Amino acid sequence: MKTLWYGCIALMLMGCGGSQGKKDASPSAAAGTDTAIINTVPNWSDPDSTIYGYSDGFGQSAFTLITKDGEEYDLALTATDEADPYGKIYGDREDSAQYALTTRDGEEAIGVLINLSQLNKFTTHYSIYNGHLILEEGGNRDWVEIRELNDTVFRAVGKSGKMYEYKR
Q: pLDDT tens, 99-146?
A: 999 999 999 999 999 999 999 999 999 999 999 999 999 999 999 999
CB 101, CB 51: distance < 8 Å: yes
Element (H, E) at 144: strand 140-149
Q: Which of 139, 145, 146 is nearest to 125 (CA)?
A: 139
* pLDDT for res 109: 95
For position 34, what pLDDT does the model report? Answer: 59
State the DSSP string of 95-130: TT-EEEEEEETTTTEEEEEEEHHHHTTT---EEEET
Instruction: Give the dihedral sign, CA 132/152/72/112.
Output: positive
pTM for this model (two decimals): 0.77
Q: Is 68 within the bounds of a domain?
A: yes
Domain with 96, as residue range(s), is 51-167
Q: How many domains does the chain have?
A: 1
Q: Which residues of the chain have pLDDT under 50?
A: 1-33
Instruction: Report yes or no on 121 lying in a domain.
Output: yes
User: Is 37 within a domain?
Assistant: no
The whole-number pLDDT of residue 141 equals 96
118 close to 97: Cβ distance less than 8 angstroms: yes
pLDDT computed for residue 6 by the predictor: 44
